[in-house]
A and B are shown apart, each in its own frame.
Chain A
Amino acid sequence: MMHKEEFCQIRDNGVWHQNTSLVQILGLCPLLAVTANLVNGVMLSLATIVVMAIANVAVASLRNWIPHEIRIPVFILIVAALVTVVDLSFNAMFHDLYLVLGIFIPLIVTNCIVLARVEAFANKNPPLQSLFDGVFMGVGMLWTLALLGGLRELIGAGTLFSGIEMVIPGLQPLKLFSADYPGFLLAILPPGAFILLGCLIAWKNWIEARSAAAQHVRSSPTAA
């Protein structure tokens, strides 16, 4: 089946080393549109995880029957059909959840991450590995979009979790600054998303550079 090492590698790649938003820089359109607050960022990521896991398993199971020359149209066909099926089934079976997540499912169409993972991973790997790849790529997107959405919301409007009452009735958004906080419009607008995303990428690279330097010192004691 699957070794623990392989699983850990897929997990670390998805969540950190190949993070969709910070390393592959994929799916910027939904990222800009949706991360004006934390709740929307998390909800879009959850919808993407579901679609990506299903699409990866479907392509990995069919990969031996898909001719190399026409793989892209076939992938698009599979992904588009699955997004629509997920959309319809959510609407029919989990209607309350659909009212919250529903508007995000069509947004996945603008997201190239799904197609990218199908082409780069599921096309060459067995279904189980592809399932984990889809889920953990989604988890990587989830924490990044949550962080970005939270920062933009906090800086832009001084609140956190606005819109949570639509997901979990009874909960109230947090107001972290005083009521007369004027807000900072730039953070809410798309340019603010670009600037903050740039800061997050710099932060990730800084952490990696630091840990690489620390490893270098440890492995060659003479240099110290």
Chain B
Amino acid sequence: MSAPLKTPTAAAMAVRTAVILLIFVLIFTSLLAGAYFWTKPAIEAAAAVEKMKLIGEVLPREVYDHSESELLNNTVTLPPSPALGNEDSSIAYRATRAGRVSALVFEAIAPDGYSGKIRLLLAVAADGSLLGVRVTQHKETPGLGDYIEPRKDKNKERPWITQFDRLSLATVSDAQWRVKKDGGRFDSLAGATVTPRAVVKCVHKALKYVAEHRAALFDVTTEAVK
């Protein structure tokens, strides 16, 4: 007990509190940054695995003769286009066999679902036929319009979405790209026709887009569609 304790001034108190707060901010921000960089590789790897799982559902393994990571790296940029429904540019993955592009995997968005957008993933072979279609995201009514998702479809042997397999513009005429109720060839469940109508229209438009930009899409050297 040598010197009596001085009561700190208000300014000194404020500075002291501010410095302590600053130290806490620095510590916890660096903790966040550390956690972000430490987990980044693992999270990216997991995301790639998931993306590959989704692509694997539409793209049969025998279509390409290279590794899956090569597939994810061989891409072509698609600019925003009303035919695909993408508002920002998206990318298509190019599968090759014996040096030639054998198939394309890309996303198309149906803007006119029953409640909002329906996002689809399509795989199209070099001859213009569909290898597979899957719904990746939608907000359709549960139990009514959600049969476009095979997991929710009651028909497990032949889910609704598999109707598109192997179809192409050459084998199905323009007038046939409609649900049966509208005079086309695609099934739909009673009470939920808006959803399949949007999906059929979207797939049809996407195929037309591929036919139109065939040269650029299936040439290994192009990096973006103009």
Contact = CB atoms under 8 A, between A and B. Distances in A.
B21 A88 contact: no
B71 to A, nearest CB: 21
A73 B22 CA distance: 11
Q: Name the residue among A67, A74, A81, A84 with the largest chain B CB count within 10 angstroms.
A: A81
Nearest to B20: A67
B35 interface: yes
A113 to B, nearest CB: 20
B35 A77 contact: no
B17 interface: yes
Contact of A81 (B20, B21, B32, B38): B32
A179 interface: no
B31 A91 contact: no
A89 B42 CA distance: 9
B43 A92 contact: yes
Interface string A63-106: 00111011001100110010011001101110100000000000
B35 A91 contact: no
Interface in A87-142: 88-89, 91-93, 95
Contacts of A67: 16-17, 20
Contact of A73 (B21, B32, B35): B21
B215 interface: no
A88 B36 contact: yes
Main secondary structure of the interface of B (DSSP, over half): helix
A67 B28 CA distance: 17
B21 A70 contact: yes
Contacts of A73: 21
A123 to B, nearest CB: 14
B209 interface: no
Interface in A24-66: 65-66
A161 to B, nearest CB: 17
Contacts of B31: 81, 85
A91 B39 contact: yes
B50 to A, nearest CB: 8
B28 A81 contact: yes
Interface centre among A66, A67, A88, A93 (most CB of B within 10 A): A88
A85 B17 contact: no
B24 A69 contact: no
A91 B46 contact: yes
Interface of B: 16-17, 20-21, 24-25, 28-29, 31-32, 35-36, 38-39, 42-43, 46
Interface of A: 65-67, 69-70, 73-74, 77-78, 81, 84-85, 88-89, 91-93, 95
Given A67-B17, A74-B24, A77-B24, 7 more contacts: A67-B16, A70-B17, A77-B25, A81-B29, A91-B43, A92-B43, A95-B46
